[in-house]
Amino acid sequence: MNLNIEYEVLTEKEIKLIHQNALRILSEIGFKVGHPKMLRMFGEFGGKVNEAEEIVTFSPQFIEKFIADSEEIPPPSKELHTLSAGYSLNYMEPETGKTEPLTLKTITQIVQLSNRLKNIDKPHSYIGTPYDVPLKVNTLYCALLAWKYMKPFPIRYSCILNPKLCPYFIEMGEIMVEDKGGKLSDYIAGSVFLVPPLRLVRESAEIFLYFWERGLPAAMGDILSQGGTAPVTIAGAVSMGVAEGIFQSIISRIFYNSKHINVTQPRIFDMARGMTCHCRPEFSLMLLALAQMAKFYKSRIGGTSISCAAKLPSCEAGMERGFTAIPLILAGGRSIEGAGHLSVDEVVSPVQMVIDNEYYGALKRFVRGFEVNEETLAFEVIKEVGQGGTFMGTEHTLKHYRKEQWQPEIFSREAWNTWIEGDKKIDVDYARDIAIKILKEEEESNIGSTTEEKLMKIIKKAEENLK
């Protein structure tokens, strides 16, 4: 079974129109690059540079050749890669439902929960912003927590927001290599974002170059939003996503010789409330359209977040996640993050994370598909059971049912009478019980006290030097 289903929202003519519009954006408008070295490297690669205005453009002929020289990305696998929530600001306490700013302790609790839930492959390396440490060095503390608790180990930490912190991250990574083994790139990388529309700011460029110059991985992300930093029309937003994706792909080819092309998925900017989110039908349409554009470029759609606008675990949260996850999978995407998010990424909730873990399990079963062969067609079993029989007691059912049927843990499985005569709990109740139980357990550290002390010395040094 092949789940790379083609649900076409674009005609061939419309694909070409979006492509042509992206070419015009790249050739007639271009990108503002706030770093002279990177701007010069774009020029050496074939871009046309206006140094006075810090603008680089790329001719249609250059882009067409760039596309032609790209390599096809392999088709999607039958596995779904899942992550927990990232970039959060607040924590929703599972017992009381009260929300408070994230701290080192509550970040640790979210990591602990992510580690123990079987359908979350690993925690997001940057859970969020701890407010009980100095803001200027909080990402150093987050790196320490990631290395200390996240599993599977080692975890690569890459969220670096201030170029001045780069040397301290290198020092901390070297401590990890010295004490735990492996390579520096097992522990650190540089992950930065374009600041849309069409802009690479100096700080992001500095972080990217710092890691690249030291032979370490660095990546460029995007935060386009339909109606905010991209046109409100879906066609305009999709063409912006294509243009910014091609620009990021040019960066990857210049610095890391990547032969692939990526496309960027704009979020939704709510024009009435000013909230940026994923979970709208327009986002689903853009996902499917961008999947077609990716195929046009011999690529495929990447991953996305299942963040929702809902403020509490609810039907709304589930519906909004469905608007994101199912179209992504049908479009060939195989990476999802955001388990535990509420109010987009403002809040992380242990209860919602347990519910999302259940949803992840269902999605993984969906992606796996099913086999069609003599054994699974089961003709001989059908013949044996015959008319009016039942398949419940057959060896064939015993052999296959665990693999063929997804078994939920907190979603309802019983008839109404059984439920009403029992504890009458629903998914949120079960999820709360599970979260509270796990959070009472103690999480094992990946590193020893001596290593932690060395890392803390570097953090304190950074804190003192960056006053």
Verify that 100 and 243 share a domain, yes or no.
yes
Is 272 domain-assigned? Answer: yes
Q: Which two tokens stand for residue 135?
A: 């803001």
CA geometry: angle at 127 spanning 206 and 352, to 5°? 145
Verify that 269 and 400 share a domain, yes or no.
no
Model pLDDT, residue 271 = 86
Nearest to 351 by CA among 343, 341, 360, 361: 341
Is 40 domain-assigned? Answer: no
Q: If pLDDT is split at 50, 70 and 90, which confidence band does 12 have?
A: very high
User: Mean pLDDT throughout 373-386?
Assistant: 96
Helix ranges (H only) for 118-233 are: 138-149, 166-180, 202-213
Segment 70-124, tens digit of pLDDT: 999 888 888 999 999 999 999 999 999 999 999 999 999 999 999 999 999 999 9
Q: Give Cα 286 to chain centroid, integer Å.
A: 17
Read off the DSSP letter of residue 415: -
Is 9 domain-assigned? Answer: no
Q: Which two tokens stand for residue 244?
A: 């910014």
Model pLDDT, residue 302 = 81
How many folded domains does the chain comprise?
2
User: Mean pLDDT throughout 21-26?
Assistant: 98
Is 59 domain-assigned? Answer: no
The separation between the first and the last C-alpha atoms of the chain, rounded to the nearest angstrom, is 58
Verify that 290 and 380 share a domain, yes or no.
no
Q: Assess contact for 251 and 245: CB atoms under 8 A.
A: no
Segment 340-379, tens digit of pLDDT: 999 999 999 999 999 999 999 999 999 999 999 999 999 9
Model pLDDT, residue 272 = 86
Segment 125-135, tens digit of pLDDT: 999 999 999 99
pTM of structure: 0.93
Q: Which helix (H) or strand (E) holds 434?
A: helix 427-439
Read off the DSSP letter of residue 442: P
Q: Assess contact for 158 and 189: CB atoms under 8 A.
A: yes
Is 11 domain-assigned? Answer: no
Verify that 261 and 185 share a domain, yes or no.
yes
Segment 393-424, tens digit of pLDDT: 999 999 999 999 999 999 998 999 999 999 99
**d(C-alpha 349, C-alpha 134), whole Å:** 24
Verify that 295 and 336 share a domain, yes or no.
yes
Q: Assess contact for 211 and 190: CB atoms under 8 A.
A: yes
Segment 173-228, tens digit of pLDDT: 999 999 999 999 999 999 999 999 999 999 999 999 999 999 999 999 888 999 99
Model pLDDT, residue 4 = 55
The CATH code of the domain that includes 252 is 3.20.20.480
Verify that 363 and 378 share a domain, yes or no.
no
Nearest to 228 by CA among 263, 198, 196: 196
Nearest to 327 by CA among 85, 74, 15, 7: 7
Is 23 domain-assigned? Answer: no
Q: Which two tokens stand for residue 116?
A: 């123990």
Q: Which two tokens stand for residue 422?
A: 């029992």
Per-position b or e across 153-192, b if 16+ CB within 10 A of its CB? ebbbbbbbbbbebbebbbbbbebbbeebeeebebbbbbbb
Verify that 264 and 390 share a domain, yes or no.
no
**d(C-alpha 233, C-alpha 228), whole Å:** 11
Verify that 258 and 148 share a domain, yes or no.
yes
Model pLDDT, residue 467 = 78
Verify that 391 and 259 share a domain, yes or no.
no
Is 441 domain-assigned? Answer: no
Q: Which two tokens stand for residue 50?
A: 């206006």
Compute the chain's Rg from CA coordinates: 24
Nearest to 302 by CA among 211, 189, 219: 219
Q: Assess contact for 88 and 127: CB atoms under 8 A.
A: yes
Give the domain range for residue 98. 68-368
Could you give the C-alpha distances from 157 to 174, 225, 248, in angstroms and in order? 13, 26, 21
Verify that 267 and 392 share a domain, yes or no.
no
Is 230 domain-assigned? Answer: yes
Model pLDDT, residue 330 = 86
Q: If pLDDT is split at 50, 70 and 90, which confidence band does 5 have?
A: low
Segment 253-312, tens digit of pLDDT: 999 999 999 888 898 998 888 888 877 889 999 999 999 999 999 998 888 888 889 999
User: Is the model's pLDDT at 2 over the cut of 90?
Assistant: no
Verify that 84 and 150 share a domain, yes or no.
yes
Verify that 286 and 174 share a domain, yes or no.
yes
User: Is the model's pLDDT at 7 over the cut of 80?
Assistant: no
Model pLDDT, residue 95 = 95
User: Is the model's pLDDT at 1 over the cut of 60?
Assistant: no
Average pLDDT, the chain: 94
**The domain boundary residue, chosen from 312, 341, 368:** 368
The share of the chain scoring above pLDDT 70, in percent, equals: 99
